[in-house]
Structure 1
Amino acid sequence: MFGTAVRQLGYAWSMMSGRRFRIRDVRALVEDTRATMEAFGSPGEGSEDMLAAADPEIQEDLTKRRLRRTMKHAKAEVPYYRHLEADNLADVPPTPKQALRGMPAAFVSELAHPAVLAHTTGTTGSPTLVWFSAYEVELMSYMAALAAMLNGGLRSEHVWANAISSRSIAQIVAERAVPMTGAGFVHLGMIDPRATLDRLATPLHVPGKQPLITHLNLTASYLAALVQEAERGGWSPRDFGLVEITSGGEVLTDALRLRAEEALGAKVFDGYSMTEVAPVAGRVCDDGHLHLPTDQGLIEVLDPVTMEPAGPDAPGMLVITPYSTFRDTTLLLRYVTGDLVRTLPEPPTCAMAAIPATSRVLGRAVDAEVSTRDVLDLLQAEPALPLPTRFAIEDGVLHVVSGKDDPALLGRLEERAGALKIKGIRLIETPDDLPHPCHVRADLIEQSFEHAAPLSIGVR
């Protein structure tokens, strides 16, 4: 008990001071938490304080300290920021995504020890490369394990499966963090949706674990692909043992979430994270707010044009500065994520009200005042359209992949699209007919043998 208290104090000291964590303390906290939960079924009194938001006044002071340290490291160690004269973060020009994508080495600290290179999926352009040190990967993994046990309810009898890109930092962290909780980890990958459903429904027959996979982590478009296949293939929630599905990386609509819960039989949670700003991440509450904790990075919502703070109930760009307490290799100041949100008109009163919040991610601006979420909300409310949803806007006309010419479907879409600022809707048969490509993460399908077409071998 004394050792645990000392480790908790060490953890709290790092959180309060903004200095580096002692990895052995964080590792020991994970082990203590797991042992306590396996012995008593709960993490114990006061354990939630490790991940809880601080009092607003304390949080403001912590933010100032962390920002000072982060700016000090960036200006002294990172070539891209070396000539910065600003002493306040508000005076630092936002860092565009194109800068990191075009010269990733310019953002790597000269004092760092790069160990792991993670890639974004590149759906909006070339993949962005982000280096991480062994310290960063270990720290993020242990903290993810703590969060999974304390906030996520992950237990040793559960089996967690990842169906995301193997190049992302989320994959690298999850395959380390989940086993620390005692739960099983399965790297499904992004294979043919039919193969994934087969694996979700196949009993595991391993000691101490649930008979079927219980937790599934994936992107929204791949979730859509699973839903489409489950509906077409006659799958039932009774075929699976899922209790929780986590979607991230893309816009998740209410229509797709409800359809997935009905098809797969598990509650779907909407999250936010990206490789460049890890470990900063958020989760959508039951009231539909995206809550982004402020202890791992500074979150700003800036007007997309002026890059000044967005006003109440106004759209803005998420701009994030990860703190150097957690990041010592690729250091970023005011990184422009490209993700639009809307500020809330008034403070939230939901169960997660202590954590700052915005609207759910709106996605990108696909045409003038139209966002990705605007279009997906319209299209995914129509079950006759194929999943994953594919569309493009050109000259104000929304082109939608429907698979066929269907006047009745077109009429329903036009009737519901009244508030959408477009000139018209055109149904097209295949993604090749779109005026420009519509890339979704579900396109990154990996090859597997389960449903591969047999090779045709000629005989002479």
Structure 2
Amino acid sequence: MFTQYDPESAALTNELRNQFDAFIAGGWDADMLASHQTRRLREVLTYVRANSPFYRERLAGITDADVSALRIDDLRSVPFTTKDDLRKAQLDILSRPVSDAWVFYETTGTTGAATPCPRTNGDTIHNNTVLTAYYRDVLAAHGGDQVIGISGPTELHATGDTFGDVCRNLGHAVAKMWPHSPVIGFERALEVMRLLPVTGLFCTPGMAMRLAQKAVEEGLDPRRDFSLDVLMLTGELMSPSLLENIGVLWGAEARNALYASQEASVLAAATSDGALRTAPLINLYEVIDPETLEPVRPDTDGVRYGELVVTNLYSGAKPLIRYRTGDMVRMTDPAPGAAVPAPAVEAVGRVRDRLLLNGHLVNGYDLEDLLLRRFRGYQDYQITVARDDRGRDLLSLTLKADPDHHRDDIAPAAGDCLDALDTPLTVGFGTPGPITSTGAMVSWKAARVVDLRTDPSAENSSAECIAATRA
């Protein structure tokens, strides 16, 4: 492999592999982890202050003495970094020149200026070690003779490279195919999936449903005519209801595989106990109230609910310090027997994607889970929000499914919605159209929700433009 031709990368690979093996086996206690995080935090702060023009200015008020004495509990004294900061700073956010990276990625730029995301060898090794260590048992449950499909864009995006490298680490063959590409297309992608056959698939939830829809249109049965054992889903909001539905569509295990971003890289990954678990050896995590910016305390169930803030603990091309992800999460400390002794995290939607319905503020994850709870076997869905003459909010759900299979589910679904949100729900059947496929490029809300109470946003316009090219 490449690392054997680069002594520094080979040494780092061995070091991290040994660290993660010991950590997963329970060989790190709380003091050891805190010591590691504190040391790496100080090193990264020193590194970005010396090398990043943006952080040299942003952290000018912090002295060398401050850094050398900084503890994890003192992190609140360090300023946040935001998405707007990344958009404005562009290459000035980097701590290494692009020429020191092995690859250049960037964000999609569909909802604002694209931001540069180059990766050094060290960046890739740190993040892919997490996925390799966490996915080993997940994929091993389905045997060793696997062909893994990766359905994601490779141009200026990390999806294909990352999952391809991780599968190679684990000894699995890979087929990269992007059905929206004019070279591949859905027909050829489905043909390849049957021919090889593909036994595992990394893709977005929307892509998993769109592939099933296209298969049915070609007279195929996703459950009978394909050989998928496991779908590793990422890139979009994914409630338990949607996840279970995708598993039903394909007759396969469907997993929420990864919580990550182009900017901040790997934040949490699937483990064999079914949870998404954080990577505390390479990141430091905070959960804050998005309004007050104060740390959130655990509730009576031990869950911290708020906006995720992350600090990278490795010195690569672009380590981020106290980066406000803009994502609402639920984070829970690991219980005894967890597959990996790291907190579990549920990403429940962007802060700005929350909806106020008849006085109830609800995130996308909980709304999707609530509305889809009673239905299985649909190939797509869309939510519409309206308001009646009396000022009461109304919801309607459109499913691409056989209505005869769901007539008995409609009344219970409407009752669930009225009980939880004091909001009437109607359910209809039809084809939402290509806009629902744009969630990974834009946002869950722009792709899945038609809110008739407000004027279309810039994200709505971006989603419409992308959808027009996919129609």
TM range (shorter): 0.7 to 0.9
Q: Deviations over 1:1-41 (max 9, x none)?
A: xxxxxx9xxxxxxxxxxxx99312356799xx9xxxxxxxx
Q: Deviations over 1:323-376 (max 9, x none)?
A: 124xx11121111112211244x7534533621223x21112422411111221
Among candidates 308, 311, 316, match of residue 318 of structure 1: 308
Matches within 5 A, 1:245-264: 245-264=231-250
Structure 1 match to 2:320: 332
Segment drifting more, 411-420 vs 57-66: 411-420
Shift of 1:316: 0.5
Q: 1:169 and 2:158 equivalent?
A: yes
Q: Distance in 1 between matches of 2:33 and 2:79?
A: 24
Structure 1 match to 2:284: 298
Q: Partner amino acid for 1:275?
A: Q
Q: Distance in 1 between matches of 2:347 and 2:320?
A: 21
Paired residue secondary structure (1:342): strand
Give the direction of change, closer, same or farther, for the CA distance of 1:439–1:218 in structure 2 (3 Å limit). farther
Among candidates 226, 232, 251, match of residue 265 of structure 1: 251
Shift of 1:389: 2.7
Paired residue secondary structure (1:129): coil
Q: Over aligned residue pairs, what C-alpha RMSD do you find?
A: 4.0
Among candidates 29, 48, 64, match of residue 38 of structure 2: 64
Q: Distance in 1 between matches of 2:8 and 2:130?
A: 12
Q: Deviations over 1:245-293 (max 9, x none)?
A: 2111222222232222233232112131222112433226656x53212
Query: Please, which runs of 5 or more residues in structure 2 have no aligned partner?
Result: 67-73, 388-392, 436-449
Is the CA contact (8 Å cut-off) linking 2:203 and 2:234 kept in structure 1? yes
Paired residue secondary structure (2:119): strand
Give the direction of change, closer, same or farther, for the CA distance of 1:337–1:281 in structure 2 (3 Å limit). same
Paired residue secondary structure (1:319): strand
Matches within 5 A, 1:22-33: 22-25=8-11
Q: Distance in 2 between matches of 1:156 and 1:349?
A: 29
Greater helix share, structure number = 2
Is the CA contact (8 Å cut-off) linking 1:255 and 1:380 kept in structure 2? yes
Structure 2 match to 1:363: 349
Q: Distance in 2 between matches of 1:323 and 1:421?
A: 41
Q: Distance in 2 between matches of 1:362 and 1:282?
A: 15
Give the direction of change, closer, same or farther, for the CA distance of 1:227–1:375 in structure 2 (3 Å limit). farther
Q: Distance in 2 between matches of 1:156 and 1:23?
A: 27
Q: Distance in 2 between matches of 1:383 and 1:354?
A: 34
Q: Deviations over 1:85-142 (max 9, x none)?
A: 2444221222112221333212101566244221334565554431222443355456
Identical pairs, percent: 22
Structure 1 match to 2:172: 183
Q: 1:389 and 2:376 equivalent?
A: no
Q: Partner amino acid for 2:335?
A: P
Shift of 1:391: 2.9
Shift of 1:235: 0.7
Is the CA contact (8 Å cut-off) linking 2:414 and 2:426 kept in structure 1? no
Q: Distance in 2 between matches of 1:302 and 1:133?
A: 30
Q: Distance in 1 between matches of 2:419 and 2:48?
A: 45
Give the direction of change, closer, same or farther, for the CA distance of 1:142–1:93 in structure 2 (3 Å limit). closer
**How many correspondences in the alignment?**
402
Structure 2 match to 1:379: 371
Paired residue secondary structure (1:305): coil
Is the CA contact (8 Å cut-off) linking 2:102 and 2:120 kept in structure 1? yes
TM-score of the aligned structures, taking structure 2 as reference length: 0.72
Q: Distance in 1 between matches of 2:318 and 2:123?
A: 10
Q: Deviations over 1:410-447 (max 9, x none)?
A: 75543221244465457787568764439889x67998
Query: Please, which runs of 5 or more residues in structure 1 have no aligned partner?
Result: 1-6, 8-19, 34-44, 205-211, 453-460
Structure 2 match to 1:457: none
Give the direction of change, closer, same or farther, for the CA distance of 1:198–1:434 in structure 2 (3 Å limit). farther
Structure 1 match to 2:295: 309
Among candidates 112, 115, 136, match of residue 123 of structure 2: 136
Is the CA contact (8 Å cut-off) linking 1:114 and 1:131 kept in structure 2? yes
Structure 1 match to 2:86: 100
Shift of 1:74: 1.6
Is the CA contact (8 Å cut-off) linking 2:106 and 2:116 kept in structure 1? yes
